[in-house]
Amino acid sequence: MKLGEAMFAALGVAGLAVCALLPLFGSGYAMSMAINLLIFTVLATAWALFSGPTGYVSLATVAFFGIGVYVAAVLGEAWPWPLVLCAAALAALGVALLVGLATLRLRGVYFVIFTFGLAELIRQVVTWYEANHSGSVGRYLFVDIEQRHIVWQLTALAALVYLTGWLVKRSRVGLALRMIGDDEMVARHCGVHTTFAKLLVFSISAMFMALAGAIVAPRWTYIDPTIAFNPVVSFQVLIMALLGGAARLHGPVLGVIPLVLLFEFLSAHFPNYFSVLLGCTFLVIVYLAPRGIVGLMDRLQGGKA
Amino acid sequence: MALIDALLNGLTLGGVYALIAMGLTLQYGVARIMNLAYGQMLIASAFAAYWLFTAFALSPLLGLLIIALLAFGLNWLLYQVLLTPLVRRARTSEALEVDSILATFGLLFVIEGIVLVIFGGNYYNYDYLGRVVSVMGTPLTANRLLALGFAIVIGLGLYLVLHRTRQGTALRAVAVSPTSAQLVAIDVRKAAAFAFALGGGLVAASGTLVSMFFTINASMGVVFTMKALIVVIMGGVGNLMGCLVAGLLLGLTESLVATFVAPGLTLAVTFGLFLVVLIIRPTGMFGKAGA
């Protein structure tokens, strides 16, 4: 098992190194694929950071992602870029703390619905505000950031997510989260401050999502609430993390790579059947690989031993 | 009078919401399947009604009967084929909840995709009983009143079935506790399949009613799922009366907000109201405490 983890770590470092060097020799298309892969790697890993161990299925991914996009759209042209990124992370932190305090005692389906409702609520409020108070629903963002800068920033962010995930997993908080996932009542009786642990990791995960949003915002130039808060993103992240396996740090990326490629292929060749095929893929995953690719790999290894 | 207009509009809208949510409360409360494809099923039946009306000039009321029966059968089949393996696999009710969310989530895309392939992304509507009737000085279209009437009749009928018949009592017993229901010789899986199918029939019926006065589009399903979920959870899962009250409340709130605050904020207020109820009483307004 130790060997496997070392192997995955080495593969991860190699993958990130390729991404970092890509702008020097890759084409525009390769870079755009790399951006897609990196965004979803960050989002799915950040999602699994919280939802993996606790079993709280969150559909609020796009809420935090969209907050990041919007902070970049509003402040991007006025503030220096590093400050914009900090602002995006802080905005997400604020929302995550507020929401987390109120909702993390909801479990199961209530939490799922709540997080989905939250994303929709934020989208509606932003749309309404933009339409009534800032004159137009869309915004333009012109900053001096090229594709290769986005790739580099995202690579750094992905490395940071993995580092954080590794640290969290080794820490007392990580253990606390796994206990909560097994049995929250027992965890509380053992003296785990469950609210604190959940809130901490939920906020960390939200900040990464917002940072990813802020970083890719310049790619679009034109931004409106339907782009920034597209609920499909939450679902895609969920599918990817589940396909890969949310229980391990290296799990989500194993789902991200095949699915990003599959989505790319489907939308290029079967745009009309995209939805049907997406649904079928999802059903196959739920029925055949309930514990994700990681689960399948474990089973194979177990069979050999 | 703007206020009376808003109240009457809110009541008709709320009646429809209540009707839509009743099917989901059966599926979720009794069969324990959190059906995320619910809104897509509604849209699919609305399109079926549209197709029957435009292609065969079949009255939507007759169409309702056909579509609801068909949906009952299809949903029963769906439960047997697709969902029973999940029920078998699940060790706890929570595990089943997560699994059913994921499975029906895939189903959501499949149904929506099929409707998209057949009808495309355009908006459709047709004219049936669209003439305006004046109620207490407020103009309302006849089809909306008809839908409200149907909501009340179906709601009452369902209430009577659940509370006055053996089969209905069995369903309620399963809703309360699937394990204890087995002890009094109730075939839980059969009852759950029946409840799921009944919910499917109800959503098809509400879909055909909705198609009479809403402009429909293939990708609108999510909106209805959300509304239905909000009503179900606010009213307390598995509680028909709660459904009715929460549905009317939601309709009234939306209509009042649209009239007196800003039409663009109705959805935001809906979600706001829902989130508040969820935080204060996670089991719904009429739900069992501590469940």
Q: In this predicted structure, what is the pLDDT of residue A303?
A: 52
Please give the residue that has the higher pLDDT: either A9 or B242: B242
Confidence bin at B291 (pLDDT 50/70/90): very low
Q: Using the 8-state DSSP alphabet, how is residue A169 labeled?
A: H
Dump pLDDT digits (tens) for B74-87: 999 999 988 888 88
Instruction: Give pLDDT, residue A209.
Output: 92
Say whether pLDDT at B286 is over 70. Answer: no
Q: Which has more pLDDT, A150 or A294?
A: A150
Are the beta carbons of B209 and B147 closer than 8 angstroms? yes
Whether the Cβ atoms of residue A60 and residue A99 lie closer than 8 Å to each other:
yes
Q: Give the pLDDT score at B75.
A: 92
Structure tokens given for B177: 């506790």
pLDDT in tens, A133-149: 777 777 887 777 777 88
d(CA B10, CA A214): 40
Q: Which of residues B284 and A252 earns the better pLDDT score?
A: A252
| Chain B stretch 91-130, residues whose beta carbon is closer than 8 A to a beta carbon of chain A | 94, 97-99, 101-103, 105-114, 116-117
How far is A12 from A25, CA to CA, in rounded Å?
A: 20
Q: Which of A107, A231, A273 has its CB closest to that of B117?
A: A273
Residue B1 is predicted with a pLDDT of 67
Closest to B20 in 3D by CA, of B163, B188, B150, B190 = B150
Percent of chain A residues past pLDDT 70, beyond the cut:
95
Would you state the structure tokens that stand for residue A283, as one six-digit string? 């059903």
Instruction: Identify whether the C-beta of residue B61 lies closer than 8 Å to the C-beta of residue B149.
Output: no
* pLDDT band at A2; cut points 50, 70, 90: low
Distance CA A112, CA A67 (A): 19
Tell whether A102 is within 8 A of chain B (Cβ).
Answer: yes
CA distance B117 to chain A (A): 6
Task: Sort out which chain B residues have CB atoms less than 8 A from A286's CB and list them.
Answer: 99, 102-103, 106
CA-CA distance, A244 to A281, in Å (whole number)? 13
Over residues B226-252, the pLDDT tens digits come to: 888 888 888 887 778 888 888 888 888
3 state SS of A69: helix
Q: How far is the C-alpha of B208 from the C-alpha of A207, rounded, in Å?
A: 44
Chain B residues inside the 8 Å CB shell of A106:
278, 282
CA B48 to CA A48: how far, in whole Å? 40
pLDDT recorded at residue B172: 86
Computed from CA positions of residues B34, B40, B41, B43, in that sequence, does the dihedral angle turn out positive or negative?
A: positive
Spatial separation of the C-alpha atoms in residues B123 and B216, rounded to whole Å: 6
Q: What is the pLDDT of residues A170-183, one digit of tens each?
A: 888 888 888 887 78
Which helix (H) or strand (E) segment is B11 a member of?
helix B2-29
In B, which residues are within 8 Å of A277 by CB distance? 113
Strands A222-223, B138-141: pairing kind: unpaired
Residue type, B181: A
What is the model's pLDDT at position A50?
A: 86
Instruction: Write down how long chain B is.
Output: 291
The pLDDT value given to residue A65 = 92
Q: Considering only residues 130 to 189 of chain A, which have any Cβ-Cβ distance to chain B shorter than 8 Å?
A: 131-132
| pLDDT for the residue numbered A275 | 80
d(CA B54, CA B64): 14
- Res. B288 pLDDT band, cuts 50 70 90: low
Using an 8 Å CB-CB cutoff, list chain A residues near B101.
Answer: 57, 109, 112
Handedness of CA A282, B218, B85, A56 (dihedral sign): positive
Report the pLDDT value the prediction gives residue B43, as an integer from 0 to 100: 92
* Chain A residues inside the 8 Å CB shell of B117: 272-273, 276
Has residue A305 got a pLDDT over 50?
no
- Measured N-to-C along each axis, helices A172-182 and A194-220 cross at an angle, to the nearest 10 degrees, of 100
CB contact at 8 A, A130 and A14: no
ipTM surpasses 0.90:
no
Mean pLDDT of B266-283: 76
Give the mean model confidence (pLDDT) for residues B183-190.
86
- Report pLDDT for B203: 92
- In chain B, pLDDT over 90 holds for what percent of residues? 12
Cβ neighbours of residue B56 closer than 8 Å, sequence gap 6 or more: none
Contact state of A120 with B108 under an 8 Å Cβ cutoff: no
Q: Which long-range contacts (CB under 8 A, 24 or more apart) does B140-149 make?
A: B140/B8, B140/B9, B140/B12, B141/B213, B143/B212, B143/B213, B144/B12, B144/B16, B144/B213, B145/B12, B146/B209, B146/B212, B147/B12, B147/B15, B147/B16, B147/B19, B147/B209, B147/B210, B147/B212, B147/B213, B148/B11, B148/B12, B148/B15, B148/B16
For A240-273, write each residue's pLDDT tens digit.
888 787 777 777 888 888 888 888 888 888 777 8
**Per-residue pLDDT, A3:** 59
DSSP A80: -
Q: Would you give the distance in Å from CA B177 to the centre of its chain?
A: 23
The CA distance from B140 to B162, in Å, is 32
Query: What is the spatial distance between Cα A160 and Cα A193, in angstroms, rounded to a whole number?
Result: 26
Residue of B87, B109, B277 to mutate when probing chain A, most A C-beta within 10 A: B109
Q: Of the segments A102-106, A294-298, B91-95, B251-255, which one has the largest average pLDDT value?
A: B251-255
Q: What is the dihedral of CA B232, B233, B239, B241, to 10 degrees?
A: -70
